[in-house]
């Protein structure tokens, strides 16, 4: 999958600026995803491509619209050196997989990356480098695999 690379401290005001929060549908809101940092992102991003950040991805406001617009555009996995905690919870609860990779800064815009879940490895096909992936705890995995918290709880009950 192709890498979309962002830096440190990507805050939720950058992921979805507050002036768009009133748009009536997620589809309309999603057209402005990451607009301050990459004005063409929503138009150019193809579902399934890999979002990569530096430290503290998703910091700032608790707005759940931030992970939701990403999910709306087809983001399934986000990789970063670290995530802000509310964003982390929101992603898990929406069924977006987060991978903390200390070496995420070595991935660059346009790199081709493969995630080998079976062997817990991340392979950068462009640089031929391999990274160990810290597996997600079973509790979080169950929520993500159910498609989010709501569905997890529904199935559980």
Partner 1 sequence: MAMTITEKILAVHADEKKVTPGQIVVVDVDRVFTHDVFGPLVIKAFYKKGLKKVWDKEKIVFIGDHEVPTISEQAGAQYQEIVAFAKEQDLKNFYYGQGICHQIMPEQGYVRPGQIILGTDSHTVTYGALGCFSTGIGTQEMANIWATGKIWLKVPPTIKFECIGKWPAGVYSKDLILHVIGLMRADGCTYKATEFTGPAILDLSVDARLTISNMVVEMGAKNGIMPVDHKVKEYLAQRNIPESAYTVFQSDADAAYEQVITIDVSKLNPTVAAPKGVDDVMPLEKVEGTKIHQGFIGSCTNGRIEDLRQAAQILKDKKIAPYMKLVVSPASKDIYKQALQEGLIEIFLDAGAIVTNAYCGLCYGKTGGVLGKREVAICSNNRNFAGRLGHKESQVYLASPATVAASVVEGKITDPRKY
Positions in the binding site for partner 1 (CB under 8 A): 8-9, 11, 13-14, 17-19, 21-24, 36, 55-56, 59-65, 67, 82-86, 88-90, 93-94, 137, 139, 148-150, 153-154
Comparing CB distances to partner 1, the nearer of 36 and 42 is: 36
Closest contact distance (angstroms) between CB of 43 and partner 1 is: 19
The token pair at 19 is 């002036």
Cα–Cα distance for residue pair 120/135, rounded to 1 Å:
7
Confirm if 130 and 121 have CB atoms less than 8 A apart: yes
Comparing CB distances to partner 1, the nearer of 128 and 138 is: 138
Cα–Cα distance for residue pair 128/119, rounded to 1 Å:
16
Closest contact distance (angstroms) between CB of 51 and partner 1 is: 18
Comparing CB distances to partner 1, the nearer of 23 and 115 is: 23
Cα–Cα distance for residue pair 71/77, rounded to 1 Å:
9
Closest contact distance (angstroms) between CB of 22 and partner 1 is: 4
If one counts every other C-beta atom within 10 angstroms of the C-beta of residue 120, the result is: 13
- Reference 51, options 22, 10, 23, 84; nearest CA is 10
Comparing CB distances to partner 1, the nearer of 96 and 113 is: 96
Closest contact distance (angstroms) between CB of 118 and partner 1 is: 25
């Amino acid at each position: 999958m192709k890498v979309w690379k962002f830096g440190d401290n990507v805050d939720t005001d950058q992921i979805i600026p507050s002036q768009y929060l009133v748009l009536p549908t997620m589809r309309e809101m999603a057209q402005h995803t990451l607009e301050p940092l990459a004005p063409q992102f929503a138009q150019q991003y193809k579902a399934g491509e890999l979002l990569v950040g530096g430290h503290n991805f998703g910091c700032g406001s608790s707005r759940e619209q931030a992970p939701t617009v990403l999910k709306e555009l087809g983001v399934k996995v986000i990789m970063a050196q670290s995530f802000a905690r509310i964003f982390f919870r929101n992603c898990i609860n929406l069924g977006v997989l987060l991978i903390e990779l200390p070496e995420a800064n070595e991935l660059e815009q346009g790199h081709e990356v493969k995630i080998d879940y079976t062997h817990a490895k991340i392979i950068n096909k462009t640089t031929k480098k391999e990274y160990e992936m810290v597996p997600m705890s079973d509790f979080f995995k169950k929520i993500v695999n159910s498609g989010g918290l709501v569905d997890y709880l529904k199935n559980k009950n």
